[in-house]
Chains A and B, each alone.
Chain A
Amino acid sequence: MNHSRRPAGEAKVVFEKVSKTFKQKGEPLEVLTAVDLAVDEGEFVCLLGPSGCGKSTLLNIAGGFERPTAGSVKIDGAEVHEPNAKRVFVFQEYGIFPWASVWDNIVLGVRDQSKAEQHRIVEEVIELVGLSGFESSYPMELSGGMKQRVEVARALAVSPDVLFMDEPFGALDSLTRLTLRTELLRIWEERRPTVLFVTHDVDEAMQLAERIVVFSARPGRIAEIVSVDMPHPRDIGSPEYGVIKNRLYELLGVTHLI
């Protein structure tokens, strides 16, 4: 499938004055105010902010699951109206189907391809996320970390050009979270999808992102965009790392000295 070429110079994902207001008990509740953001092709961007700052809502709008109250999101120059199988969402709670085996979950996005092609793709992504040998297992037999691997594999099977990740590792223990971050980076460097990754974890954003979009609390707006110009693997003990981290904490209005 050849996706429409975007106009030269325009970014992959463009948010233009995106606002969102929910109705809560009849009262309008503004969660996002005029968010402008451009994400380049192949870029890894983290959306960082306190709970309730609207960062997940922004991701849902970009994913086509919700409509903005005002403004628009364009991907490849075309406005997003509905979900698209080339731009895959990885959910915080497990979005994989508990009634289907690992294999049947991953094959979902490539179900219309030939059997041979399905086999090739599924085997490849299972290998990529380190799930070999678990093809016929059911999600309930897997640990939380492995379930998220299945979800990532399901997303990768369609060779997505954008990955929307909504605190995908939020429910995992800290060691598993670290491992999966490393693996996500490895996969990202290998395949180079555009990644929009929502998190409220400063270290997670620091370890993953090329740019960190810091949100202020409700109504969510962009406080600042912080570039992390450090090659992977990043030395979390380096002074440079500490400087950026201090800046992020400052923007979030908390101190890291406890």
Chain B
Amino acid sequence: MRLKFCYLLLAILTAGLISESQDTFRFAIIGDTGTGGSGEYQIAEKLTGSVKEFPFDTVLMLGDNIYGGETPSDFRKKFEKPFQGLLTAGVKFYATLGNHDQPPRQIDYKHFNMGGKRYYSFKPKADVRFFSLDSNYMDPEQLAWLEKELKMSGSDWKIVFFHHPIYSSGEKHGSNLELREILEPVMVRNGVDVVLTGHEHFYERIKPQKGINYFIIGSSAKLREGNIGKTELTGKGFDADNVFMLAQIAGNNLTFRVITRKGAVVDSGTIQRAERARKQSSALK
């Protein structure tokens, strides 16, 4: 009887674990990586190491994926070589274009999974959809596409990623107000949960703006030390080392950790989807 009870308990626990892992989607985020320098290689090594304890199969690249030349050897040195371990393990990278990226070379490159398009969306899991935009060239057609895609998307989680931050405390660049003026209304109107950007070579978590959570992760290779100015926008800022982000979506929660190349966790937290509707309605008031 006792043995039967133990088996039953084990079965319940195992079922719970299996269902949790099936419902969980894990991904990593890197930005402004393509230098081919030591910062990129160290971040790539740390990221590759973290896949054992945090098994993710998707990496988002937030632009400036290949700096300088984009010859075949540049692709090897600045992407394939540092991320070889993850590529071999079958991890898929999804890139967005930065101001240092050449669309003709990158949109067709298989490892960037852009499907030959400057802007695209993909759905890695039933209730999660990502939208990659080309913020270098936000023409009316792209904006109309985003509005349509967001509207059509039945996904519960809507995560948009592009290169130029529309909220930033960076002293070098700061918020891109032009882009904010046209993108923010579309994203608020259509219930975007999270926006991921790069461009600024530091990490910043912006306090939620009109119900949307903004992150800047632009220091996965380059670093602009001490560049985060004092503003009311910052939820958490870190500009002392290179970082990447690990994130996990499970039901209504998105949990994240921001990790340096030395392995220190500099920010972490949970975003709850349930808060979205409330935040949106208060933002609209």
A binds B: no
